[in-house]
Chains A and B, each alone.
Chain A
Amino acid sequence: MSQPPNRPQPARSKGLPEHLKDYRGVWVVVEAERGHAHTVSWELLGEGRKLADELEVDLGAVVMGPPEPWLDEVCAEAGAHGADLVYRIADPVLHDYRTQPFTQGLTALVETYKPEILLLGATTLGRDLAGSVATTLATGLTADCTELAIDMETRSMASTRPTFGGSLLCTIHTLNFRPQMATVRPRVMAMPKRVDGTDPKIIDHPLNLAEDDIITKVLDYVLDRDDDKPRLAYADIVVAGGMGLGSPENFQLVIELARVLGAEYGGSRPLVQKGWIPADRQIGQTGKTIRPKLYIAAGISGAVQHRVGTEGADMILAINTDPNAPIFEFAHYGIVGDALKILPALTEAFRTRLTALKGAA
């Protein structure tokens, strides 16, 4: 759409309004549900620590949940992963995640203690909550960031994320609103070292919401069976295929190599869109971000969003018939050849070695 002619100067050119200048501090919302904290929260505390140090402010963790012993443990863990302060709301209505009470709690904390940066995990919970809170506060929210930095001149956060379906990266700022909100996917940021014996200051805050005031009720929570969950994000070896495999039947070659190696398998985004593999096997920024020791990518061209989701791998071996495929720009080793021939050969070669090793053991 074209720009309107002679439009008045947008509000954003005025700089940060006076009433937002006292927003200070970096916060991470710790995702704690049913007794467990999501590891993305610790990864974010690691990243938040860097931002807070650069801004010379405190790093705060927000912990919301029911008043049960496990919530205290989560607070202590937040300290062990770098938080100076913990803002805690402990209330029975927070037993399960629901949009309304969590939005109300987080909004109240932000309005009371005024952080300049608010980070959440880009999980189903984090995205549900972030979208609701950002709209309530009428502030900027940047999804699925892959890099966070501070522009000291404006004291604003530079949030970088893939754009245009993952073909380019863009850097986004929230200049005139506070807090500056961002979500980050699991495994994108490195896990910080755990430090025991920290003693974060805990600030308790009330929720002031009765169960009767909440319309949405949780009738049941069906836990996933452990064995039907792909563990892509945490696997040491990952084998993946792309459109270069040519047909869904050929994807079996990827599964076989993965099986021999005791590895996880997955695929690129187009495979999910074509229905060759389920969505929870998608590797890349818009699927699962992986950090394995070895990643074998067969017939994957290597779009930016795939690259961003796999760059954390220690070693990437790419197999592609096209010597100019972008994946060779970021893989460590490459084979220019037909994945349909090389995958079964790799499977066989690894099987032979494993049998030999087993015999020797």
Chain B
Amino acid sequence: MNIVVCIKQVPDSAQIRVHPVTNTIMRQGVPTIINPYDLFALEEALCLRDRFGGTVTVITMGPPMADTSLRKALAYGADRAVLLTDRFFAGSDTLATSFALSQGISRLAAEAPVDIVFTGKQTIDGDTAQVGPGIAKRLNLHQLTYVEHIDSLDLEAREITVRRRAEGGVQVLKTGLPCLITMLEGTNSIRFASMDDMFRAARTRLDKWSAKDAGVEDMQKCGLRGSPTVVKKVFAPSPRTEKAKIIDIAGLEPAQIADAAIETLFEANPELHEDLRAFASGA
């Protein structure tokens, strides 16, 4: 069985700082990581390979330095890694990204048919959750988003049954292969990569594909030109005209601070006091 996992190298959002004066992102020194949501997809793929045999290929589109994340994925146990990197990919929105990735996956599928494509549910930097469905549509894969569990996989019948998180419950869906699965967070935890694994990964040769290598014929579909959305401006939210009124707690004990806070809240909004009265009387 051949599985492809799409991953993205993202800045570690916990460490992003905004310059207080210019309101621009301070990227210097911000470490990059594999998008955390993608690790659930990768682990699920590795588990399936361990059970059914076959290969797991990780693929990403990004700058040359995105190889760091691919090597990390190799260390976790992926068999092969493909980096789609080309200046023509620069400035891609989700539509252009799904185009580039589906081109890369098509080339892989031409070498050996792909059974399942995995992605994370979304990235932590873009938060769109749009690239997975985009790939499914372009490659005509059965689309299974927000999957929390794979109930069964029958390679002979080419059928898969999964549990998909919906708004008020869980759908149990059966569909055919090939399919695309976006994996929900918290469904598994990524295995441990030993020092040996990391050394092995460091020695593994990565496939670096340009747009042409991936089989792109129409460069108009790539990058900025292939992106229907245009970012007009990036800005910090305007501060509220009024900042928080700081409750004076100088010299007060915690119990007195709590009283002062509650009095302030009730005074500002008597309705809260009424609500609490209703709550106390069991309404």
Binding site for B on A (CB under 8 A): 1-4, 7, 10-12, 31, 33-34, 36, 38, 96-100, 103, 123-125, 127-128, 130-132, 134-136, 138-144, 158, 162-177, 215-224, 236-237, 261-262, 270, 273, 278-279, 286, 293-294, 304, 307-308, 314-318, 323, 327-337, 341-342, 344-346, 348-350, 353-355, 357-358, 361
> Is B244 within 8 A of A337, CB to CB?
no
Other-chain residue from A2, A123, A140, A167 in contact with B167 (beta carbon distance below 8 A): A123
With A99-B143, A134-B95, A345-B257 already in contact, the answer to whether A353 and B90 are too (CB < 8 A) is no
Could you tell me the distance between the alpha carbons of A10 and B90 in the complex, rounded to whole angstroms? 13
Q: Is the CB of B249 within 8 A of A333?
A: no
Q: CB-CB < 8 A to B134: which residues of A?
A: 131-132, 134-135
**Beta-carbon contact of A134 and B130 below 8 Å:** yes
Smallest CB-CB A-B distances: 4 pairs: A131-B133, A165-B13, A140-B228, A334-B244
Contacts A4-B88, A217-B174 given; indicate if A334 touches B255 (C-beta within 8 A): no
Contact partners of A130 in chain B: CB under 8 A: 130, 133
Contact indicator B173/A169 (Cβ below 8 Å): no
Chain A residue nearest to B13 (CB atoms) is A165
CB-nearest residue of chain B to A330: B240
Taking A143-B127, A171-B233 as known contacts, 4 extra A-B pairs with beta carbons closer than 8 A to each other, sorted by chain A number, are A168-B18, A215-B176, A293-B269, A328-B243
Contact B229 A174 (CB under 8 A): yes
B234 proximal to A (CB < 8 A) = yes
The number of chain B residues with a CB under 8 A from chain A is 98
Query: In the bound complex, do residue A273 and residue B14 qualify as a contact, i.e. CB atoms below 8 Å apart?
Result: yes
Q: B93's closest neighbor in chain A, by CB?
A: A140
Whether the Cβ atoms of A125 and B25 lie closer than 8 Å is no
Residues of chain B touching chain A, judged by Cβ–Cβ distance below 8 Å, are: 10-11, 13-14, 16-18, 23, 25, 36, 63, 85-91, 93-95, 98, 124-134, 136-138, 142-143, 145-146, 161, 163-176, 185-186, 220, 224-225, 227-237, 239-240, 243-247, 249, 254-255, 257-259, 261-262, 264-265, 268-269, 271-272, 275-277, 279-281
Q: Label chain A's interface by main secondary structure.
A: mixed
Residues of B within 8 A of A138 (CB): 95, 228
Is B262 touching A353 in the complex (CB atoms < 8 A)?
A: yes
Supposing A140-B95, A141-B130, A361-B281 touch, asked if A333 and B136 sit within 8 A by C-beta, the answer is no
CB-nearest residue of chain A relative to B255?
Answer: A345
Tell me which of B130, B167, B220 contacts A11 (CB under 8 A): B220
| Alpha-carbon gap, A157 to B240, bound state (A) | 25
Most buried by B among A143, A168, A170, A330: A168
In terms of DSSP, what is the predominant structure of the interface of chain B? mixed
| Also in contact, A131 and B244, with CB within 8 A (given A138-B228, A163-B234, A167-B25) | no
A355 to B279, CA, bound (A): 11
> What distance in Å separates the Cβ of A10 from its nearest Cβ neighbour in chain B?
5
CA distance in complex: A167, B129 (Å) = 18
A172 pairs with B231, CB closer than 8 A: yes
Query: A168 near B258 (CB under 8 angstroms)?
Result: no
B229 touches A315 (CB 8 A): no
Contact A329 B235 (CB under 8 A): no
Output the nearest chain B residue to A214 by Cβ-Cβ distance.
Answer: B175
Kindly provide the distance from the CB of A37 to the nearest chain B CB, expressed in whole angstroms: 11
Q: Is the CB of A216 within 8 A of B175?
A: yes
Chain A residues contacting B90 (CB-CB under 8 Å) are 1-4
Name the contact of A345 in the complex, choosing from B94, B131, B254 (C-beta under 8 A).
Answer: B254
Evaluate whether A357 and B171 lie within 8 angstroms (CB atoms) in the complex, with A140-B93, A173-B232, A278-B186 already known: no
Q: How far is the CA of A245 from the CA of B89 in the complex (A)?
A: 42
| Complex: A177 Cα to B261 Cα, angstroms | 52
Q: Considering only CB atoms, which chain B residue lies closest to A356 in the complex?
A: B280
Interface-central residue, B90, B95, B240, by most chain A CB under 10 Å: B95
* B269 in contact with A314 (CB, 8 Å): yes
Q: Which of B133, B176, B239 has the most CB of A within 10 A?
A: B133
Pairwise interchain contact A165-B11, C-beta atoms closer than 8 A: yes
What are 28 A-B contacts with C-beta separation under 8 Å?
Answer: A10-B224, A12-B228, A12-B230, A31-B167, A100-B142, A124-B166, A131-B130, A134-B134, A135-B95, A135-B138, A143-B127, A143-B130, A164-B13, A164-B25, A172-B229, A173-B230, A174-B230, A215-B176, A216-B174, A222-B169, A223-B169, A261-B276, A261-B279, A294-B265, A334-B245, A335-B257, A345-B254, A345-B258
Are A219 and B14 neighbours in the complex by a CB distance under 8 Å?
no
A355–B86 CA distance with the chains assembled, in angstroms? 67
The closest CB in chain A to the CB of B27 belongs to A164
Q: A165-B124, A332-B245 are in contact. Are A262 and B279 (CB under 8 A)?
A: yes
Given A99-B143, A174-B230, also A294-B272 (CB < 8 A): yes
Residue among B228, B236, B264 with most chain A CB within 10 A: B228
Residues of A within 8 A of B281 (CB): 357-358, 361
B275 touches A96 (CB 8 A): no
Please name all residues of chain B whose beta carbon is closer than 8 Å to the beta carbon of A346 when the two chains form the complex. Answer: 258, 261-262
Taking CB atoms, residues of chain A closer than 8 Å to B126 are: 143, 163
Q: A317-B265, A342-B257 are in contact. Are A335 and B249 (CB under 8 A)?
A: yes
